[in-house]
Structure 1
Amino acid sequence: MSEDTSTLREETTEREGLALRTRIRNNPRPFLMWAVPMSILIAVEFGTYAGIVLGALDALVLGVTGLLDVLVGLVSASAEQMIVDVQNTLVSTLRGAGGFTDNIITLFSRDVIPNQGYQTGPNSGWNGTFLGLPPAYAWALRFSLIIAYSLFTAYWTFRGWLVYRKHYREADWTPTDNIIENLRDHQWGQFGIVVLVLFLTMAVFGPALGPTTVERNIQSSYEYTIQYYSEEDGSVQTTYVGQANFGSKSKGGSQNVGPMSYDDYGRFHPFGTIPNGRDLFTFMMGGARITMIVTGIAIIGAAIIAALLSMFSAYYGGSVDLAVLTTADGVVSVPQLLLLIMVSAVFANHWLGQILDGGMLLALVFAFTTWPFLWRAVRGPALQVAQEEWILAAKSYGQTPRKIMRKHMFPYILGYLLVYASMSAGGIIISLSALSFLGNGLGISAPTPAWGRAISLGQDYVSGPSWHISLLPGLMIVLLVTGLNALGDGIRDAIDPETVGDEGEEAAAGGGG
């Protein structure tokens, strides 16, 4: 045994049974070397992160209290009113805090690096933009800095896990270690990770990534004004954003603002505009946020249910396994589209259906209809690990079922769960986009951006100069779904490297079936 291995084993033995705080206090240097840079990374964008957290809490409070309101209202009107009062108090507090965080200036905000400005003459410089740069250059600078910041933050977060594994984790080894080490050499899986990080960046930093914001350009366009140089009058004019949008429509022919171009009001459009003149890139960033939120809620909810039920059914077996199997078969028999239509119709005028602009109900339906597929995928590994010697040894030593499931079974099935969850997430994204494409009260409610609605708006112009309206959103959906499938493939190969190649193709075909 080498000296490094012996030293690491001694450190691991010393950490066993100690609380994480104690372990860090006994050896603070590695933690501080990671935590100080991480604190700086969080601090420069604290307002963004705080807004995301408060928004998620707001949606969670509305969703949970909304469900309780519906259920309790069937029994007691007084209890229902009490739930509503609690909801109003919590929501008011969260939105008050959200208003405070909205005023916090972040490093990469459009207040620090503005890209919207105007000229005073046909060949003059730009006023109001960062360092007087043309709007396209100012936007590209902010966009590049945010992407670089996001990728580095993702790397540094992973670096924190490495520090924890080496210096502070109780266990010397877990099944996750081999998966991550194999994944670090898997280029296709790494492609999936990069794609996922980029789309998460769009969801988190969407208001700063776009040349404008959803509120200014889409939701409240007649509450904001812009200045621009008018060639007809030879002077600087002021107009409402909505009026400028009216003059910047993309409807084919000569009425078109294509990708990487300016409109007549000096506004730069990286992806061009849509038929009502709104900026397509901003529309896509807003759609990325609601898509990732709804998909995240759905797949996390489905994964939690599947993991819990798979461990319960594998640990106890017998009638418990049969009951879960029967329940899963019953859920699978319910047509997903029919259930989505029914839920949308029932809660069309209920405030519960307005949470996340209808996204919360969609997420709950997707979670409810997805968990049986994840459960079936991880039930086999759960049954296998339940029969291992270390599980039987843990039972003989008197460990509780809850501890056995958490410490011995869950780490083993986690990799398999991630494989099928990432692939199922792609299906949810496609379904969500399809609902928004169909419209008629389905999908995300307007005017909140939705990728499927953008494709629907541009379907009449695919063969003309306004091809970008449908094509670019479609390519983004394909890229995200491909990235998630690549991530699933990478995790699958990392779990069992022998499946790479021909055997991997056979395994993939079997899993897809």
Structure 2
Amino acid sequence: MSSNSNIREERPLRERIADNPQPATLWIAGFLLLVAVEFGALSGTIMALPWASLMDKLPFLKPVAAPFATLGDALANLPTLLTREIFDNSGWQSPQGGWKGTFLGLSPAIVWTIRTVLIYAYSLAFLYWIWRGYLTFRQHYRYADWTPRDDMVNRFRRHSWGLFGFVVIFMFIVMAIFAPAMGTTTIERNINNPYSYSVHYLDKETNQVEEVTIGEANLGSASEGSSNVGPMTYDDYGRWHPFGTLQNGKDLYTFMVHGARVSLFIGVTAILVSGIIATAFALLTAYYKGIVDLGVVIVGDSIMSIPRLLLLIMLSAVFKDTWIAGVYNGGLLLALLFAGTGWPFLWRAVRGPAFQVSEQEWIDAAKSFGQSPVTTMKKHMAPYILGYLLVYSSMTLGGIIIAVAGLSFLGIGINAPTPEWGRAVAMGQGFVATSSWHISLIPGILIVFVVTAFNALGDGIRDAVDPQSESGDDTGAEVAAAGGGA
């Protein structure tokens, strides 16, 4: 390759865009438009993370975080297209028939369905536009006509099992991001503070529109076997329940969509922290070997030798009275516990690839030219192991979600009233053989689907990165899928 070609390839992306700005400008304009119509919901998801709890527990953060809190209040008031204020399903049936207070006078079930379909349609359009951005980069701003990444993407697109996992996880993430809009009601009105709000409803005995607090309506809509509000039905107060109600009369679907946020927060936080630790240790042990590797092996094997469930229960009991246990009602504590006990499993998964790349001749060349260890690890070693890390992280994330549900089922996970899928299973275990079977069965099915989807996505990524692995034994993947033994 000529020296001119080398110089040309080293030009930064912004200069390549400046030479041909039209494709990038059109894509950026479309991206900004998609973000703008739902900016309030997207920013609200970020601001819903436990920043306020952290500020309460760590007062020294308040001067730094106060401007962000003000920004969050401003963002919450920004217009958003797909909201329950526009597509309102909280009306009541009039004595003359028809519905009052709902979007276009439609029934709450139809309004909720329209809102949900539009949310997923918007999310699909957003996903498609991200894909268009990748294709725009490939066509207009990438010098090479082909890279190994192209084959990886093509292999994954033909991997039906991996695509199944991707679709289910996409639906799960959309549910978590748009939880306030997707729920049939709000978590504040239905779960956290039901006696501070009221609803109108048509009393069928008097044929008059009455008003009652949501707390009282919940008591009259409880699913307790003998009395039941099942899936896809209305209660006596004209409220639509896609998944039915809990044993306390609260809407199960609203509980589930907000519980998805909690599960996703814990899983992603745990994976990010444990992934950073595992990557750092893998690079250090592969580069320095010897005593460094021995030290990490001893620490990692010591953690892995303890049954993880027992370790999590013990640590939860030890830290239950600390300030960190109050953040997100125990969500942040669980995330850090999973990260602290799970990094050895990820480290073991990427340690081999890290050692393999450390023996390559270009690593020796970098050392001989006096390149610093940090630069060598970051530029020449880390990219090689990131694919493996992504595979095992996706599988481990599913294991974390089911482990969190299991801990909540045992009563030592997320504290009430914060929604969590395992707690819903626990609340309904006494009604499995009754007409209120939905309380446990629906959350259980969703847990199985999501965990299976993360494992399927990991299989798809693995086979896309290394097609020869399709028929190979992958014990490490099985361990990761089980949450590292939890």
What TM-score do the two structures reach when normalised by structure 2? Answer: 0.92
Is 2:450 the partner of 1:480?
yes
For 1:367 and 1:383, locate their aligned partners in 2 and report how far apart those are by CA, in whole Å. Answer: 23
Match among 45, 48, 59 for residue 52 of structure 1: 45
Amino acid at match of 2:446: M
Comparing 188-197 with 313-322, which one deviates more in the overlay?
Answer: 313-322
Corresponding position of 1:331: 303
Is 2:331 the partner of 1:365?
no
Per-residue CA shift, 1:296-331, capped at 9, x if unaligned? 000111111111211121122222222221221122
Corresponding position of 2:482: none
For 2:201 and 2:49, locate their aligned partners in 1 and report how far apart those are by CA, in whole Å. Answer: 37
For 1:62 and 1:394, locate their aligned partners in 2 and report how far apart those are by CA, in whole Å. Answer: 43
Is 2:215 the partner of 1:215?
no
Q: Summarize the Cα distance change of 1:217–1:300 in structure 2 as closer, same or farther, 3 Å threshold.
A: same
For 1:224 and 1:96, locate their aligned partners in 2 and report how far apart those are by CA, in whole Å. Answer: 26
Corresponding position of 1:310: 282
Comparing 275-284 with 313-322, which one deviates more in the overlay?
Answer: 313-322
Following TM superposition, by how much is the alpha carbon of 1:231 offset from its aligned partner in structure 2, in angstroms?
Answer: 1.3
For 2:17 and 2:466, locate their aligned partners in 1 and report how far apart those are by CA, in whole Å. Answer: 34
Q: Summarize the Cα distance change of 1:50–1:209 in structure 2 as closer, same or farther, 3 Å threshold.
A: same
Corresponding position of 1:69: none
Amino acid at match of 2:39: F
Corresponding position of 2:292: 320
Amino acid at match of 1:327: V
Match among 73, 81, 92 for residue 118 of structure 1: 92
Is 2:12 the partner of 1:16?
no
Corresponding position of 2:459: 489
For 1:11 and 1:467, locate their aligned partners in 2 and report how far apart those are by CA, in whole Å. Answer: 70
For 2:68 and 2:330, locate their aligned partners in 1 and report how far apart those are by CA, in whole Å. Answer: 20
Match among 454, 461, 465 for residue 435 of structure 2: 465
Secondary structure class of the residue paired with 2:89: coil
For 1:380 and 1:268, locate their aligned partners in 2 and report how far apart those are by CA, in whole Å. Answer: 53
Q: Summarize the Cα distance change of 1:510–1:57 in structure 2 as closer, same or farther, 3 Å threshold.
A: closer
Is 2:391 the partner of 1:419?
yes
Match among 382, 388, 400 for residue 360 of structure 2: 388
Corresponding position of 1:178: 151
Amino acid at match of 2:100: N
Following TM superposition, by how much is the alpha carbon of 1:14 offset from its aligned partner in structure 2, in angstroms?
Answer: 5.5
Is 2:341 the partner of 1:353?
no
Corresponding position of 2:29: 36
Following TM superposition, by how much is the alpha carbon of 1:338 offset from its aligned partner in structure 2, in angstroms?
Answer: 3.6
Q: Summarize the Cα distance change of 1:14–1:186 in structure 2 as closer, same or farther, 3 Å threshold.
A: farther
Match among 251, 255, 263 for residue 235 of structure 2: 263
Q: Does the 8 A contact of 2:50 with 2:328 survive in 1?
A: no
Is 2:68 the partner of 1:102?
no
For 2:318 and 2:68, locate their aligned partners in 1 and report how far apart those are by CA, in whole Å. Answer: 28
For 2:155 and 2:372, locate their aligned partners in 1 and report how far apart those are by CA, in whole Å. Answer: 33
Q: Summarize the Cα distance change of 1:488–1:163 in structure 2 as closer, same or farther, 3 Å threshold.
A: same
Q: Summarize the Cα distance change of 1:301–1:41 in structure 2 as closer, same or farther, 3 Å threshold.
A: same
Per-residue CA shift, 1:73-94, capped at 9, x if unaligned? xxxxxxxxxxx44223334433
Corresponding position of 2:483: none
Q: How much is the aligned-residue C-alpha RMSD, in angstroms? A: 2.4
Secondary structure class of the residue paired with 1:131: helix
Q: Summarize the Cα distance change of 1:339–1:512 in structure 2 as closer, same or farther, 3 Å threshold.
A: closer
Is 2:54 the partner of 1:62?
yes
Match among 197, 200, 206 for residue 173 of structure 2: 200
Corresponding position of 1:451: 421
Map 1:77-92 → 2, pairs under 5 A: 84-92=58-66
Comparing 49-58 with 323-332, which one deviates more in the overlay?
Answer: 49-58
Gaps of 5+ in 1: 1-5, 67-83
Comparing 202-211 with 389-398, which one deviates more in the overlay?
Answer: 389-398
